[in-house]
């Protein structure tokens, strides 16, 4: 185990922190005991509060906010300021949940020094517990090792890495060939050796993701990577049916909030136009 990560784990007081928040040690214990880690994205106070109330183990403030909140066509335009703004709000909504912030494109790639400054700023200004970096090649692992050495917990991310979508040729399953699978297996080991406390496996064949998961001591959290990972993560808007045009094979909708919200807004509009809202029940009387 990476010595600095081991010291970060040792600082945890038991399985959970003082107020019930999960810790890195807790996630390692969940893996060892075969208890799946439940993760989901959130970008604001209300949804983060809902996830905490539901007992989600980990909240990811993902750079997916670029697409589902800010209307960009990819995660690439998202800035560090935008990530900090949303992560600060999410952390206020879920103070007792372990929150991870995605480091956006070009906030850590230029140099180790810039990565240290930006990741340190992210933790200081938001109160989140960890950051996530995409990629498993040598340069990224060197950056992760430097962050962990500085006391910044890091989650890795391999497979389909959305910040590299153009280089990867689009949003498609990774690791189908033996050469590609071997590369991804090697990246997973390298991330663990660099000190990552966990890693996301995205859009991988299920057998490959399971092989990687069983070979590592740190937890894996899958999205489109089958049931063999140590946990699962979904974008909240997708899982709750708020993004009806998005229908990848891996996605299961656990609610249809788009339809419910649409009917609610239409009902409001009907009553306003009919002069039936507000009525006496929803109005204040004079003295």
Residue 151: other Cβ atoms inside 10 A = 12
Instruction: Give yes or no: 202 in active site.
Output: yes
Closest CA to 217 of 32, 33, 14, 37: 32
pLDDT per residue rounded down to tens, the chain (287 residues): 555 556 566 544 444 543 467 899 999 999 999 999 999 999 999 999 999 999 999 999 999 999 999 999 999 999 999 999 999 999 999 999 999 999 999 999 999 999 999 999 999 999 999 999 999 999 999 999 999 999 999 999 999 988 876 565 567 899 999 999 999 999 999 999 999 999 999 999 999 999 999 999 999 999 999 999 999 999 999 999 999 989 999 999 999 999 999 999 999 999 999 999 999 999 999 87
Domain made up of 3-256: CATH architecture:
Alpha-Beta Barrel (3.20)
**Statement: the pTM of the whole predicted model exceeds 0.85:** yes
pLDDT at residue 3, rounded to an integer: 59
pLDDT at residue 15, rounded to an integer: 43
CA–CA gap between residue 258 and residue 182 (Å, rounded): 41
Distance of CA 181 to the CA centre of its chain: 23
Closest CA to 40 of 279, 285, 252: 252
Q: What's the longest Cα–Cα distance across the chain?
A: 79
CA–CA gap between residue 39 and residue 138 (Å, rounded): 27
Block residue for tokens 């038991």: 14
| SS3 at position 148 | helix
Long-range contacts of 75-83 (CB under 8 A, 24+ apart): 75/102, 75/104, 75/105, 75/162, 75/163, 75/165, 76/105, 76/163, 76/165, 78/104, 78/105, 79/104, 80/104, 80/107, 80/118, 80/121, 80/122, 83/107, 83/122
Structure tokens at 247: 């229908």
pLDDT at residue 8, rounded to an integer: 61
The crossing angle, in degrees rounded to 10, of helices 80-93 and 112-126 is 30
Q: Where are the domains positioned within the chain? A: 3-256
Q: What are phi and psi of 274, to 5 degrees?
A: -90, 5
State the catalytic residue, choosing from 52, 134, 202, 210. Answer: 202
Structure tokens at 212: 């990687």
pLDDT at residue 281, rounded to an integer: 96
């Amino acid at each position: 185990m990476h010595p600095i990560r081991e010291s970060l784990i040792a600082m945890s007081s038991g399985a959970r922190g003082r107020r019930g928040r999960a810790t890195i040690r807790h996630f390692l214990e969940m893996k060892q005991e075969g208890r799946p880690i439940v993760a989901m994205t959130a970008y604001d106070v209300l949804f983060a509060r809902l996830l905490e109330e539901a007992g989600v183990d980990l909240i990811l403030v993902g750079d997916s906010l670029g697409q589902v909140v800010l209307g960009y066509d990819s995660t690439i335009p998202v800035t560090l300021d935008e990530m900090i703004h949303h992560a600060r709000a999410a952390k206020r909504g879920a103070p007792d949940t372990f929150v991870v912030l995605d480091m956006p494109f070009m906030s850590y790639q230029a140099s180790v020094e810039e990565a240290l400054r930006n990741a340190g700023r992210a933790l200081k200004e938001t109160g989140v517990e960890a950051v996530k970096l995409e990629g498993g090649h040598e340069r990224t692992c060197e950056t992760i090792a430097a962050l962990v050495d500085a006391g910044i917990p890091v989650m890795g991310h391999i497979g389909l890495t959305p910040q590299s979508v153009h280089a990867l040729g689009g949003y498609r399953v990774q690791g189908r060939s033996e050469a590609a699978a071997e590369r991804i297996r090697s990246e997973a080991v390298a991330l663990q050796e660099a000190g990552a406390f966990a890693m996301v496996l995205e859009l991988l064949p299920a057998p490959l993701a399971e092989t990687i998961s069983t070979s590592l001591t740190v937890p894996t959290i899958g999205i489109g990577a089958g049931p063999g990972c140590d946990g699962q993560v979904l974008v909240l808007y997708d899982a709750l049916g708020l993004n009806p045009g998005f229908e990848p094979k891996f996605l299961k909708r656990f609610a249809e909030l788009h339809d419910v919200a649409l009917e609610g807004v239409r009902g409001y509009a009907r009553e306003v136009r009919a002069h039936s809202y507000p009525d006496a029940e929803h109005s204040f009387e004079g003295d």
